Structure formats: structure tokens, C-alpha cells
Amino acid sequence: MELKNKKVEKRLKVRKRIRKRLHGTLERPRLSLFKSNTSIYVQLINDDKGETLLALSTRKLKIGKNNVAGAWALGEALAEQALAKGITTIVFDRSGYIYDGKVKAIGGGVRAKGLKC
């Protein structure tokens, strides 16, 4: 895969390394995230069946802000919906992003509402 952006290339390389170790199940799904310039997208994935259990984004929730506060609110909303579905623990997949800023805020919002990572 030949990308022109070295930063994206490096993130995808780290992402592959992380995904070797993480695996989501029905009892403990994998929380995967993606950050674009305008929105943040998160999913709870069951890797055993290859299905998405829950998906949210700042765009879908109409948070409107692609910042740390919006990421925290997204994490809290995800945790509320996951707890309603009976999911209590997750595996946090940072998708190659550095655990700081928005990524850290999503993790903090999820934990603040009672979901275990």
C-alpha cells in the first residue's frame, strides 16, 4: 500500500500491530474508533462473527463539535447504549492513534458512565 501521507502510513502500521493482540467477543466487544476532520466515529464490534453491535458518531448524535468535549460526550453516549444492551466490559482499540486528546476523552467518557475497559 503506497500512501503519500507518511503520518497516515505510520498510523496504519501501528494499527496492524495493535490489531494482532486485540479481539472482541460478544461478551467483551472491541471498541474501534476513527477520527476524520469533521467527526469521530466509534463502533462496538464482535470479531467472532464479524458484526457491529453498536455504532455512533458525533454526526449521528448531532454533537456538532469535533473536539475533546464532543469526544467525551460521544464516549458517555456509547456507554449508556452499551449498558442498555447488556454490555459491561469492552476492549479499547485506539486504531493506531496516540492515546491523548480525543482518544483519551472517549476512553474517559466510557469509563465515567460505568463501562469497564
Residue-wise pLDDT for 11-65, tens only, equals 889 998 888 888 888 899 999 999 999 999 999 999 999 999 999 999 999 987 8
> Which of 90, 72, 71 lies closest to 82 in space, CA to CA?
90
DSSP 99: S
What is the C-alpha separation between 78 and 59, in angstroms, rounded? Answer: 13
Residue 108 lies in a domain: yes
Domain containing residue 13? 6-112
pTM here? 0.87
What is the b/e burial string over 32-61, where b = at least 16 CB atoms within 10 angstroms of the residue's CB?
A: bbebeeebbbbbbbbbeeeeebbebbbeee
Looking at the 3D structure of the chain, how many domains does it have? 1
Is 10 contained in some domain?
yes
Residues 34 and 40 sit within 8 Å (Cβ to Cβ): yes
